[in-house]
């Protein structure tokens, strides 16, 4: 069939692939969970993990040692993740970071797959646009000022 498609100038449809933005693991077609950025941002477990990864731990240590550059970097990290416009398709191995309705998120993922990645659930967009201002401020304060505190050795 490929020969005839080439002959007729038709290119085969590309297969949709997904990779968890948190673990980087591949997600098989039809699997995973679909979350909005607001759902991701509203998770203490997520921020504790992000702010204590090997790439960010030095900023966390600096922040808790009252060094402004650490706090500035943590603020930039929050801005990076909280400003994501598209929905997140996440893997089974990290869904427990989020306090969400897992069956609903799984159904949304199925819709995302069946629409070839073009399904946009309600509430999608940057967290600053989809969370109420007080909630946004509370989550930003937690992420920037508190996340990972228990992983920093006391001086």
pLDDT digits (tens, 9 = 90+) for 14-56: 788 999 999 999 999 999 999 999 999 999 999 999 999 999 9
Report how far residue 20's alpha carbon sits from residue 32's, in angstroms, rounded to the nearest whole number.
8
Expressed as residue numbers, the domain containing 71 is 17-146
Q: In Å, what is the CA distance from 129 to each residue of 7, 22, 110, 118?
A: 48, 22, 25, 20
pLDDT in tens, 52-90: 999 999 999 999 999 999 999 999 999 999 999 999 999
Report how far residue 58's alpha carbon sits from residue 73's, in angstroms, rounded to the nearest whole number.
10
Residue 11 lies in a domain: no
Residue 142 lies in a domain: yes
> What is the tally of structural domains in the chain?
1
Residue 9 lies in a domain: no
pLDDT in tens, 89-133: 999 999 999 999 999 999 999 999 999 999 999 999 999 999 999
Residue 91 lies in a domain: yes
């Amino acid at each position: 069939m490929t020969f005839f498609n080439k002959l007729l100038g038709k290119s085969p449809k590309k297969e949709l692939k997904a990779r968890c933005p948190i673990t980087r693991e591949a997600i098989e077609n039809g699997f995973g969970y679909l979350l909005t950025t607001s759902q991701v941002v509203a998770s203490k477990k997520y921020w504790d993990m992000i702010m204590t990864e090997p790439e960010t731990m030095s900023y966390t240590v600096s922040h808790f040692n009252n060094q402004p550059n650490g706090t500035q970097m943590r603020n930039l990290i929050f801005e990076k993740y909280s400003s994501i416009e598209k929905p997140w398709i996440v893997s089974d191995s990290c869904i427990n970071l989020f306090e969400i309705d897992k069956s609903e998120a799984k159904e949304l993922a199925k819709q995302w797959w069946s629409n070839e990645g073009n399904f946009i659930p309600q509430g999608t967009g940057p967290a600053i646009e989809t969370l109420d201002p007080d909630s946004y401020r509370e989550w930003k304060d937690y992420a920037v000022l508190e996340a990972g505190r228990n992983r920093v050795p006391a001086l």
